[in-house]
Amino acid sequence: MRRSRPSILMLAAVLALTGCAGPERVPTAVGTPEPAPSSTPSTSAAPVVPLVPTGELDPLVTGLSAPWSIAPLPTGSILLSERDTARVLELTPEGELRVVGTVAGVVPGGEGGLLGIAARDTGTPYLYAAHTAASDNRIVRYELTGAPGSYGLGAGEVVLAGIPKAGTHNGGRLAFGPDGMLYATTGDAQQTGLAQDPASLAGKILRLTPDGTVPADNPVPGSYVYSLGHRNPQGIAFDRTGQLWAAEFGQNTWDELNRIEPGANYGWPVVEGIGGRAGYTDPVQQWPTSEASPSGLGIVGDTLFVTGLRGQRLRAIDIGTPGESTSHFVQQLGRIRDAVAAPDGRLLIITNNTDGRGDPRAGDDHLYAVTLGPRG
């Protein structure tokens, strides 16, 4: 990979919190999340047990409007983002649903709007959000004020701006790694060549400090780029060993599951799917685009769960055999946008049938909790 030019400087503009007018669609909490376990987890190595969904789906919320991301908090609350309303919602530990606030400066359109959210609390609690603005994609953070049942968005600031935007291919997923750094996915913004340009923030997985500066140990000094050659990566998650995994939308042939290594080039637009080309890292698993559109990726134990929009399914993948998967809820729930581990060991998933591309069903969109058990 060529050395990049100096990266874009962090902007320090402060966002003003806008009021919430409340759209016509009013989501409703219909279930109570299970409380977080009170016992201290064992420090002994747990056996590797592949997991799959078992039992019935537990609907926690109905009537969501184009939901995009799930962020469980250690306090037991669950935060949700809505793409087009720019709202952040809280499902309280008691099962009540309320509006936390509206992220300022969001300009929805096409696949853009309020996208991924991630929470961090190492003194001052912050909520980080990726969103589409008037001229770019950016990452912002707000002080998360209050407590369960009364969370609000306090002072806000831009952490990173200048990420190319388009009607599609905006990436937008956020995750904190075990190293305390913030990882963000960006799409190629419909300019395929940007994915191979190390000086561009498009078509990448970025790594930045919580304050928005470039970590000193990034693959290229002075560059936010952690990996490149991505078309439209969205789902990202870390396993218990600290390994980063990512799910990526292909173009016409293959969607991908990638094991992400620092500085690696994943091929787009030169390679789509497994190409065996020198200098490019192949995915560990690929799927026909008609069966996937993998937007969300969550990990419970040693099992990866990948959601499918066009494929309308949830895939379970044993980390020990990442080239294999089983499919669940096929065509039952419609488009599935995100999957995240819940503190109680279940899996949280949201459907995405109200985003203009799906066929809304009764009560859409939903937040579900899924009970997991050993694969038979």
Average pLDDT of 113-135? 96
Average pLDDT, the chain: 91
Quick one: what percent of the chain has pLDDT higher than 70? 90
* pLDDT for position 55: 80
* pLDDT for position 56: 85
Average pLDDT of 351-357? 96
* pLDDT for position 21: 40
Q: State yes or no: pLDDT of 127 exceeds 50.
A: yes
pLDDT interval class at 370 (50, 70, 90)? very high
Rounded to two decimals, the pTM is 0.91
Write the secondary structure of the chain as one string of H (helix), E (strand) and C (coil): CCCCCCCCCCCCCEECCECCCCCCCCCEECCCCCCCCCCCCCCCCCCCCCEEEEEEEEEEEECCCCEEEEEECCCCCEEEEECCCCEEEEECCCCCEEEEEECCCCCCECCECEEEEEEEECCCEEEEEEEECCCCEEEEEEEEECCCCCCEEEEEEEEEEEECCCCCCCCCCEEECCCCCEEEECCCCCCHHHHHCCCCCCCEEEEECCCCCCCCCCCCCCCCEEEECCCEEEEEEECCCCCEEEEEECCCCEEEEEEECCCCECCCCCCCCCCCCCCCCCCCEEEEHHHCCEEEEEEECCEEEEEECCCCEEEEEECCCCCCCEEECCCCCCCEEEEEECCCCCEEEEECCCCCCCCCCCCCCCEEEEEEEECC
Average pLDDT of 144-166? 97
Domain annotation for the chain: domains and CATH numbers: 51-374 (2.120.10.30)
pLDDT tens for 20-47 read: 344 456 798 987 777 655 434 444 456 6
Average pLDDT of 178-182? 98
Average pLDDT of 325-343? 97
pLDDT interval class at 333 (50, 70, 90)? very high
Q: State yes or no: pLDDT of 18 exceeds 90.
A: no
* pLDDT for position 8: 32
* pLDDT for position 11: 30
Average pLDDT of 81-96? 98
Average pLDDT of 160-180? 98
Pick from 23-32, 86-95, 192-201, 275-284: least confident: 23-32
* pLDDT for position 300: 97
Q: State yes or no: pLDDT of 155 exceeds 70.
A: yes
